[in-house]
Amino acid sequence: MLGFLAARQTGLDDPLRLRRAESTRRVLGLKLNPDRDVERIHGNGINTIDIEAIEGRYMLSGGADGVVVIYDLENYSGKTQYTCKAVCSIGRSSRYVHKFSVETVQWYPYDTGMFVSSSFDKTMKVWDTETLKPAEVFKFEGNVYSHHLSPIARKHSLIAVGTKNPKIQLCDLKSGSRIHVLQGHKAEVLSVQWSPRYEHILATASADSKVKVWDVRRASGSLFTLDQHNGDKSKASSEAVNTAHNGRANGVCFTGDGLFLLTTGTDDRMRLWNSATGVNTLVNYGKVCNESRKSLQFTVSRGCSPEFVFVPCGSSVAVYALHTGELITMLRGHYNNVDCCVFHPAYQELYSGGKDCNILAWVPVLRAADVEEKSACTNEGAGGHSSVNPAFQDTWSTAAESHRSSGRAALKNFEDMEFFNIKSSAALIYDEFIQNADSRTEKWFLMSSPVPQTIIILAYIYFVTSLGPRIMENRKAFDLKGILIIYNFSVVALSLYMCYEFIMSGWGTGYSFRCDLVDYSDSPQAMRMAATCWLYYFSKFIEMLDTIFFVLRKKNGQVTFLHVYHHSIMPFTWWFGVRFSPGGLGTFHALLNCIVHVVMYTYYGLTAMGPSYQKYLWWKKYLTTIQLIQFVMVTSHISQYFFMKDCPYQFPIFIYIIGLYGLIFLFLFLNFWYHAYTKGKRLPKVLQAQTWAHHTNGVMNGNANHDKDE
């Protein structure tokens, strides 16, 4: 470092050489900073981040939950340890929020008063930062994978957009319309980026394995298509001619000077190209793990010598030397796959986001002080004066007496503030949790908070397990034959209606039975699905009457743990379903459950009508088979999620809950099947009936033995 300073002082070196040397040293020293956190807002994976170039202060992030967040990276606290707070967010409570996963966010290059986001809901929105409302909305025919504004354009205001349609869309900010398309690709366009050197040059990457470079002023097609074999057809198969990768090309990025272009593909390769000629430089980066079927956001350093490439690679960020392909280091810190990263050139910092919902800050390790600097600091400290920046001073560097006084004051106030801090923390956690909820269902009955339903469920458990049996202990059992008949056939009618609504609001009118996302719009279809989900949730409280009828009829032996657990857990978990994801693939099990309830409550109603109807119940033995088929179908359907590479379902936690619930009840019914139909067949008929009744009351909905009361 002293050599660089001396050469700069004597004029031997270019003024920028010292800056490049220090920038390079800082990049080589990037580490996960334990003192800097980024506030966690997203409830699902983070797909994209961007830092504005005007002040280098504000950062955008977009997630698979459809939420867009603006962070302030500035440290105002003066402390070494601090959290980058979210200034504002466009969350589920906003009527303008994206319905599906946000794939790309970008600041307007010349002003922080505007930014652009694009999403799988087939829209790209231009936002006013001040009001957090879209000033313009562009709608497309397919999912939007990527968009980009030119960082240097003065003669045009075009946004290049890559969608599921092979045509690249050019949208004009001035006119608010799509003014041109670029044709040449044969599959969805996964990544687009403008050149930082020439404002009319655009690079695009597609699932057809091709990367094309365009001059948008030309109408005759692309300038050239990148060829990994540089035109040597002897090295390429017929399918690989004029392809940049042997798999899907899902990432493009220009170097800071625009002279080179980097591309990534699902063939686990990254390639460096001359952006002027399209020649493959044949730099070997080795295996660069890339399984993403969507756009991969990677970045290149600026102001370093040599430059470095930062590429998401599994749960790490790989750092390569740009022109040699050498793997410098792996930045490890995420708990799940990394999907995006962005370089902050002003401070040589890196920010990365992943499926673990975290944004991590990688900052340079501070250079150790020289011997002379240490001595100077020591002397100044002894004299009572310090030239050290207060932001880097620790809190115990003052006099010992002052420190003891602060400690006594803190200890005195601790007990008074402890309970308040606990309450405040709980309130903050709840606020952070609920901000991603669906604003459409917020005002619906029982939806404003989970507290009312929790009170109802606890009261139900207390009544059927303690209070009810004690009240009925010295009383005669109620004769509820008429009530049971009306109740059971009413549930049949309600279940039929819910079946019809689930089918008409999605499962029979557009759902694919695969990766079906939640539609958060205010369209009639989306609102119909949300209303049906709420009705299904509310029906779970009605079905609690099953257990209450047991208690009133003094059938306490049928109030088993499994029975009470089933009737308690269903409404509790479905509150979160209606509040956060009323629709999509998470509602398939509700449709099946309604169909099964039509059959089962029909049986319960006929049973309640008395022995004269027993001849119509020959199909009783198939009830368990129907239940088993239900849970096999639920488990099979929900398990698809784990085999789909890219299913941006907004709240994956519900997938795990449904899958676990299906497996638990599949096991319980298999256990029941064994005891009732396999093991039970070896017993006398009276004991078989007792075995069947005992296990049915544990896992079915509780009305299986009305015939015993007649």
Q: What is the mean pLDDT of each run of 10 residues along the chain (710 residues)?
A: 58 71 89 88 90 91 92 85 90 86 93 92 93 92 92 92 92 90 91 94 93 88 90 65 88 93 93 93 91 88 90 93 93 90 91 92 75 48 43 41 48 48 52 71 90 94 93 90 93 96 92 88 89 95 94 88 88 92 92 93 89 80 82 90 82 88 81 67 44 42 39
Q: How far apart are CA 599 and CA 203, in angstroms?
A: 58
Q: How far apart are CA 373 and CA 352, in angstroms?
A: 34
Per-residue pLDDT, 240? 64
Q: Nearest to residue 51, comparing CAs of 332, 356, 435, 353?
A: 353
Per-residue pLDDT, 321? 94
* Catalytic residue, candidates 147, 344, 566, 597: 566
Cβ-proximal residues to 73 (8 Å cutoff; 6+ apart), any chain: 51, 56, 57, 58, 59, 84, 344
- DSSP code string of 242-269: T-S-SS-EEEEEE-TTSSEEEEEETTTE
What is the per-residue pLDDT across 336-369, written as a single tens digit (0 to 9) for each? Answer: 889 999 999 888 899 999 988 899 999 998 765 5
Residue 619 is encoded by which pair of tokens? 């199909």
To which CATH superfamily is domain 19-364 assigned? YVTN repeat-like/Quinoprotein amine dehydrogenase (2.130.10.10)
Q: Nearest to residue 583, comparing CAs of 501, 496, 642, 663?
A: 501
Cβ-proximal residues to 210 (8 Å cutoff; 6+ apart), any chain: 185, 186, 225, 226, 242, 243, 244, 249
SS (H, E, C) 133-183: EEEEEEECCCCEEEEEECCCCCCCCEEEEEECCCCEEEEECCCCEEEEEEC
CA–CA distance from 415 to each of 364, 403, 421, 425, 426 (Å)? 39, 20, 10, 16, 18
Neighbours of 292 (CB within 10 A): 20
HSE value, Cβ hemisphere, 13 Å, CA-based, for 134:
20
Q: How far apart are CA 499 and CA 492, in angstroms?
A: 11
Q: Are 50 and 105 in contact (CB under 8 A)?
A: yes
SS (H, E, C) 305-323: CCCEEEEEECCEEEEEECC
Q: Are 241 and 232 in contact (CB under 8 A)?
A: no
- Whole-structure pTM value: 0.61
Residue 659 is encoded by which pair of tokens? 């899958």
Q: How far apart are CA 299 and CA 29, in angstroms?
A: 17
Cis preceding-peptide flag for 312 (omega within 30 of 0): no
654 by DSSP, 3-state: which? helix
In sign, the C-alpha dihedral spanning 505, 510, 512, 515 is negative
Per-residue pLDDT, 10? 61
Q: How far apart are CA 4 and CA 266, in angstroms?
A: 42
328 by DSSP, 3-state: which? strand
Q: How far apart are CA 163 and CA 116, in angstroms?
A: 15
User: Is residue 566 annotated as a catalytic residue, yes or no?
Assistant: yes
Residue 250 is encoded by which pair of tokens? 């899902």
What is the per-residue pLDDT across 364-388, written as a single tens digit (0 to 9) for each? Answer: 987 655 544 444 444 444 444 444 4
- As to burial, measured by CB atoms within 10 angstroms (0-12 exposed, 13-18 middle, 19+ buried), residue 22 is middle
Q: How far apart are CA 645 and CA 129, in angstroms?
A: 34
Q: How far apart are CA 50 and CA 340, in angstroms?
A: 10
Q: How far apart are CA 516 and CA 506, in angstroms?
A: 9
Where do the CATH 2.130.10.10 domains begin and end in the chain? 19-364
Per-residue pLDDT, 232? 78
Q: Which strands make up the sheet holding 177-182, listed edge to edge?
A: 144-149, 158-163, 168-172, 177-182
Neighbours of 444 (CB within 10 A): 17
